[in-house]
Structure formats: C-alpha cells, structure tokens
Amino acid sequence: MKHKLAYRLAVTYGLIFILAVAVIDTALIIVYRDNQLKKNESFYFDLSSMLSTMVKNNIRITNYINTSEENGDRNAGRVLLLDASGKVLLDSGGELSGVSMTNLEYRKALENGKPAAGYYTYGDKGMAMFSYPVSIEGKTSAVVMISVFIQDIYDDINRFAIQVIATSFAVAFAVVIVSVLMGKRLSEPIVRLTAAAGQIYKGKMDTIVEVARNDEIGRLAGAFNRMSSELLKVETGRKRFLSDVSHELKTPLASIKALVEPIISGAANEEESREYLQDIDHEIDRLSGLVGSLLTSARLEEVELKRQELILAEEVDYTVRVLAPLAAQKQIVLENACDRTIVIQADRSMFREVLINLLDNSIKYGIEGGFTRVECTRKAFKVIDNGCGIPEEDLPGIFDSFYRADKSRTGASGSGIGLFIVKRIIELHGFGISAVSQPGKGSEFTVTFYPDV
C-alpha cells in the first residue's frame, strides 16, 4: 500500500472519534430517557397527589376516575384506590372493585408513606405504575394507584437514539474520509521522496523532488534536493577525474611505446636511440610526477588534519630553501616578505604542500631573472610573481584537476593537478583561495585564512 501512513492515520482518528462519540451518545440518550420519564412521572404523581387529597377530604373521586374512555389509553390510564389491606375500593375500569391485590408499588407506598413508580412491559408495550399514599394523621390508610401505557415515550426515546447514532455515524464517516485525504496530503511528498531516493540508489543522481510546502516536509525535500545535486556534482567530478587520469596516463605511455619501438627494431641508429631514451626518461619523470600527485590527492581524502601553530614566515623560509636550486636555474629571486609574528593554525605538511605548489608554479611559469614574493598579513598571505601570467579565460579553471593554461606560452609542462591539490587542502582548513593575473605581467595568488570573519 502506497499511502499506508494515511490509512493508519484515518483508522486511528476514526477509532478515537467513534470511542468518544459512543460515550457522548450513550450519555445523551440516558439523560434524554431519564428526562422524559421524569416528566411523565411528575405528571402522574401530581395527579395521584390530587386524588389522594380528595380521598382524604372525603370527596368522591369516582367522577374523576371514571372519565377514562378506554383502558390502556395513556392519557386516561387506569386508576385504582386500594385500602390498607390491599382491597380495591375503586377501579376506573370497574371490574377489579372488591378484589384483593398487592404489587411492589402499592407495598412501597403503604410501607414508606411515599410515592413510588415502577416500569413494566405488558404484552409488547411499555407500562408504568405509580402509587401515592393517602395518609391521615401520619398513617397510610389507602393508596392511589395509576397504571398507564408509556410505549409512545419509549418510541420517542428510540427515535431520538436512532437520530443521534445515525448523525454520529455520518460524522465518523466524514472524519475518516477527511483523515484519509489529510493523511494522503501528508504522506504524498514522503512517497515521492522515497521514490526519488530509490532513483538515486539506482544511479539517477539528477533526481529532484518538487514539493511546494513550507513545513518540515518541505524543508526535508529541500535538503534532499540539495543532497542529490551535491551527489550529482560529486559523481560527475569523479567520472571526469577518472577519465582525465586515464587520459593523462595513456598519453605518456603511448609516446614511450612509440619511442621504444624503433630502438627495439633497430630502425634507430645509436644517436637517435640515445635521444629517444632521453625522451623516454623525460616521459617517465612526468609519469612518476603525475602518479605522485595522484597519490597526494587520494591521501587528502583520508588523512585527518593535524592542526598546530605555524609561524608562517618559517614555513616560507623552508619552502624557499627547498626550491632555491630550481629558482637559481632561471635566476628567479625568491623573496620572503612575511611578518615574523604571524602565526596560523594549520597542518604543517599539508601547508608546506600548498607553499611548494604555489612557489613551484611561480618559478615554472616565471621569466628568467624574475621574482617571486610572499607577503602576509594576519588575514591572508599572497604569492606574487612577475611571470607569464594567466589569460582571463583560463583563470576560472586553474583550480580544476588537469587544467593547464595554454602550454605554448611558457613551454613549461605540468600535470595540472598542483592547484587542484592546493584548493582541496585550503578547503579542508576552512580557508579560501583566489587568483588574479595579467598575462605578460604576472600573477597573484591569495590565501585567506578566515574568509568569513
């Protein structure tokens, strides 16, 4: 069942409602029934009280009680006057006169000196019996008895009960329908989210769920969509990275193979062979550089940051020392213009990787006799050079993996993974990185320590 939640909700609401309504209905019917019977009771007690007073005052009641037209007629009823021994002194019906009889109501009125009422069924009809004592000087000497059919009152009570129960059933039905609809409205986006999650599981990463709602479910859908677009980005990045890696590995391997073949077949003479072997050596260097970079970038995904206090100027000193021989080849001056008091919280080996990559680039893409200067403030540090610069159209891509700006400008070759690693390390630290450059004039890379502050 797709909307299990909706039906569960409807059943729960329905049951709670029916239970509540059953209690209310029962109470209502009981109160109504008691009310109707009480009204009837008080009418006949009034009547019998009047007859009792007349008997006490020796007024003949025969004229009054004989007015009944027909026994069993509720309005007329049947009136009896019994003495203390149970003998019928008067009977509105006539035939019981002189007969001895006792019943519960009679005995109650006689013994307690109080009126009593009892309810019976006669045939299939409801009947009520009322007794009223005739007390003279505190002693009950006779009892007025009235029996009357009250089936019409019972019918009225039954009609009332049926109406109340029918109304309740109609409302309960409506409640169940409304709960199903409400539950469906509630669970519908969840059903869609579940289906979308299934799609993502099957690899359809660009699945988006449209939920135009402002509540928790709307926010859940929003979070889901953000997650799926993030997954899509990661997945696309992963695929692109993989194909880039394969491509980058294939190219030097193919050229190595092309260089090896004439040597093996003997088609190349000794001088050519030496030249080819030098080229092969160069390609192997490139390959091992690439594999080293790949390993570094793979390690970044697993390694945890070990932050410690670093004096920035000292780290720059170290990098300058490491790269000095490379810089010397192009007579590039490496200048550390950092304030010695600036301390940052960073992972030492990762941070050195950043500095080495940035300075290595500025040397690799620098001009003969140029310079590279590292400046820093409390908020950021800059690596500035007067090298070949980066064309405007290439700037946005330089931090992507395997991105190389036009090689013909510099003749320098790299795998294009250095800045990708730099960016990843910077992000891991929560820092920011940006670059500005003017082709032919130089570049400036800025690492911001606390971009949000």
Ligand X SMILES: Nc1ncnc2c1ncn2[C@@H]1O[C@H](COP(=O)(O)OP(=O)(O)OP(=O)(O)O)[C@@H](O)[C@H]1O
Torsion, CA 45, CA 136, CA 109, CA 48, rounded to 10: -20
Is 414 among the residues that bind ligand X (CB under 6 A)?
yes
Alpha carbon distance 195, 198 (integer Å)? 5
140, 134 contact by CB (below 8 A): yes
Least Å from the CB of residue 388 to ligand X: 5
Alpha carbon distance 52, 74 (integer Å)? 20
Alpha carbon distance 152, 249 (integer Å)? 102
Which residue, 193 or 350, has its beta carbon nearer to Mg ion? Answer: 350
Torsion, CA 24, CA 26, CA 31, CA 33, rounded to 10: 150
Least Å from the CB of residue 360 to Mg ion: 6
Residue 282-311 contact track with ligand X, rule CB under 6 A, x = bound: -----------x------------------
294, 247 contact by CB (below 8 A): no
Least Å from the CB of residue 281 to ligand X: 17
Alpha carbon distance 200, 207 (integer Å)? 7
Selection from 64, 74, 80, 46 nearest residue 148 by Cα: 74
Residues 404-443 that bind Mg ion (CB under 5 A): 414, 418
Give SS3 for 368: coil
Residues 250-309 that bind Mg ion (CB under 5 A): none
- Among positions 330, 380, 404, 446, the unique one binding ligand X when judged by CB under 6 A: 404
Is 92 among the residues that bind ligand X (CB under 6 A)?
no
Is 366 among the residues that bind Mg ion (CB under 5 A)?
no
Least Å from the CB of residue 244 to ligand X: 12
Least Å from the CB of residue 418 to Mg ion: 3
Q: Which among ligand X, Mg ion, none contacts residue 415 (Cβ within 5 to 8 A by kind)?
A: ligand X
Q: Which among Mg ion, ligand X, none contacts residue 293 (Cβ within 5 to 8 A by kind)?
A: ligand X
Token code pair at residue 437: 């450059």
For 197, residues 6+ apart whose C-beta sits below 8 A from its C-beta are 224
Query: Of the listed pieces 141-149, 323-331, 341-349, 399-407, which binds ligand X according to CB under 6 A?
Result: 399-407
- Among positions 48, 361, 401, 443, the unique one binding Mg ion when judged by CB under 5 A: 361
Alpha carbon distance 262, 244 (integer Å)? 29
Least Å from the CB of residue 307 to ligand X: 24
- Among positions 47, 398, 425, 447, the unique one binding ligand X when judged by CB under 6 A: 398
Alpha carbon distance 142, 134 (integer Å)? 5
Residues 320-379 that bind ligand X (CB under 6 A): 357, 361-362, 364-365
Angle at 243 between CA 237 and CA 245, to 5 degrees: 95
Residues 219-248 that bind ligand X (CB under 6 A): none
Alpha carbon distance 174, 24 (integer Å)? 18
Query: Of the listed pieces 13-21, 165-173, 199-207, 401-409, which binds ligand X according to CB under 6 A?
Result: 401-409
Helices (H), 303-347: 312-329
Residues near Mg ion (CB under 5 A) are 361, 414, 418
Residues near ligand X (CB under 6 A) are 293, 357, 361-362, 364-365, 385, 387-390, 398, 403-405, 414-420, 443
